[in-house]
A and B are shown apart, each in its own frame.
Chain A
């Protein structure tokens, strides 16, 4: 996806009055909820920094060697590519090695985990209705800043415990206030700066990949017409932040962003990177 497609998705959902739930199931996983609600409750004091674990930033423009396309009822390569630009078939793409390629894994891979971890940081920073106003990369870390001064740090984590995180597991987040901090990750555990923060009982251990409560939330909202936890507007901003941060990283300089117009401020180069053509005949 791109910034433009993130906008188009939310616009379409709102246009037709549909109930939408993104696959950001960690919004409904106990330890992540506990951590975000602790931050919002004020028990950590004033939140000054939120940290989102991300995969290594990478952007490959290579093509794998061409292989004969299988029969269409085995792999429909045209359908598999969807709106991504054409490239010769290679079975490795279909077998999961599509990651890291610019055409498939937009935003330098940041949105894959960012869609979850940045999204949770938005919640913890009480910022679901806005985005950071600036981004600046330093190697594999990107620093975002909200208008109120809160910092969003997007830093390396990974499938093998990379990065300096306390809570074990993939997709880690950390929320820091002036009175304490909490981390949560996919093992279902939390780490806290003080045992007092979990005096009322630690959250039940639930893997971060468990979608059960997320699906229940969606089905409840289909009945009630309320907005689910991962609704279109929240999803829009989580994706846009991930893309905007990666655009700054690509450009190798600080970029400023207007959360209202959802455009970069006085930055034609960055704004041009918010969209690219979809392969015909795909259109939104």
Chain B
């Protein structure tokens, strides 16, 4: 059973690869060699380096092989380096597909990688993780941090919900994530959205460095002078 569980992410990705993503360019020689290493009985060093090389030079053809290591001790983080580097959407799909199969730090790692990739399609799954009381706090906090990096309307709405009525223990992580989301929204020209999420922080938290940071950023976006509290 554990063998099937370990293979599940790769099987899902293979299925996705078959129906959703067709590699348009053949693998480069570096990619082909790295994939051969991953398929072999090579040791940790060789497989770890192959994963890193795929992060630099791999394409969609590498996604299933990397996804197979997401729950593998000592190699999971190297595999994430590979998947974070591959811009093709199949890499994000592989990370999303792996979420239900992963636990502990492997789950947290996949969640972090989805945030780094700003994978908008991951927002519903991350929202579910953030509110899942059966999960460890680290998974919920990682999901919240990734929602802040993703910063889509759905992601920021979840952060606002946590700030307004979520568990008290998650409000501070949500505030940190909201500050990050506001920066992304402002970079995208959505200053209204940025101010809304910043105001949610100010309303949810008692006076302190997070509320001050949110207040100052909101003021700056409105062209007002910032608070003197951080001076």
Write the A207-228 contact mask toward B (1 if CB under 8 angstroms, else 0).
Answer: 0000000000000000001000
B44 near A280 with CB under 8 A, answer no
How many CB-defined contacts (below 8 Å) exist between A and B?
A: 81
Tell me whether A275 and B116 are in contact in the complex, defined as CB-CB below 8 angstroms, given that A15-B213, A17-B212, A17-B213 are known contacts.
yes
Mask of A250-284 contacts with B, CB within 8 angstroms, 1/0? 00000000000000000011001101111111010
Let me know if B85 is at the binding interface, CB within 8 A: yes
Q: Which residue of A15, A63, A280 contacts B45 across the interface (Cβ within 8 Å)?
A: A63
Count of B interface residues, CB-CB < 8 Å? 39
B231 contacts across to A, CB distance below 8 A: 225
Contacting pair B213 A277 (CB below 8 A): no
Residues of A within 8 A of B (CB): 11, 15-17, 61-63, 85-88, 102, 225, 268-269, 272-273, 275-281, 283
Residue of B45, B77, B142, B179 with most chain A CB atoms under a 10 A cut-off:
B77
- Summarize B's interface: helix, strand, loop or mixed: helix
15 contacts between A and B (CB under 8 A): A17-B209, A17-B216, A61-B45, A85-B48, A87-B48, A102-B52, A225-B231, A269-B56, A269-B57, A277-B81, A277-B83, A277-B84, A280-B80, A281-B109, A283-B112
Contact flag A15-B183 (CB < 8 Å), given A269-B57, A280-B108: yes
With both chains docked as a complex, state the minimum distance between the C-beta of B60 and any C-beta of chain A, in angstroms. Answer: 14
B157 adjacent to chain A (CB < 8 Å): no
Q: How far is the CA of A277 from the CA of B83 in the complex (A)?
A: 9
Complex Cα–Cα for A278 and B112 (A): 9
Which positions in B face A, CB cutoff 8 Å?
A: 44-45, 48-49, 52, 55-57, 74, 76-78, 80-81, 83-85, 87, 105-106, 108-109, 112-113, 115-116, 138, 142, 145, 179-180, 183, 209, 212-213, 216-217, 230-231
The answer to whether A86 and B77 touch (CB under 8 A), given A11-B183, A273-B56, is yes
Contact residues in A for B77 (Cβ distance below 8 Å): 85-86, 277-280
Please measure, in the bound complex, the distance between the C-alpha atom of A16 and the C-alpha atom of B227, giving whole angstroms.
Answer: 12
